């Protein structure tokens, strides 16, 4: 029997892997905009983890992950507009 949240687990892992790969490529090439894209992907991965925790009766941990994702998105947006 499959986990009912398997789709969200896969989405979390996929965005985390994409963030790592895109971030490494961007650092090696020196593209700041692509580094910011990888930060957004990382924030989305944290958001998915928070959603999973919120739906598996670990509400406080889920809320903490939402706050982390929001702060990371806010920081990335501020950095994007300061370029």
Supply the pLDDT for residue 57: 85
> pLDDT (tens digit, 9 = 90+) per residue, 27-44?
899 888 898 999 999 999
Supply the pLDDT for residue 5: 82
Within a domain: 1: no
- Provide the domain count of the chain: 1
pLDDT < 50 positions in the chain: none
**Residue 38: closest CA among 48, 24, 57, 51:** 24
Within a domain: 58: yes
Give the gyration radius of the chain's Cα atoms: 14
Domain containing 13: what range? 6-81
Within a domain: 64: yes
Within a domain: 69: yes
């Amino acid at each position: 029997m499959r986990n009912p949240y398997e789709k969200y687990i896969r989405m979390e892992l996929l965005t985390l892997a994409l963030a790592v790969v895109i971030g490494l490529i961007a650092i090696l090439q020196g593209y700041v905009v692509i580094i910011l894209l990888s930060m957004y992907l990382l924030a989305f991965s944290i958001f998915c983890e928070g959603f999973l925790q919120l739906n598996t009766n670990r509400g406080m941990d889920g809320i903490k992950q939402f706050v982390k994702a929001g702060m990371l998105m806010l920081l990335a947006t501020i950095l994007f507009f300061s370029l």
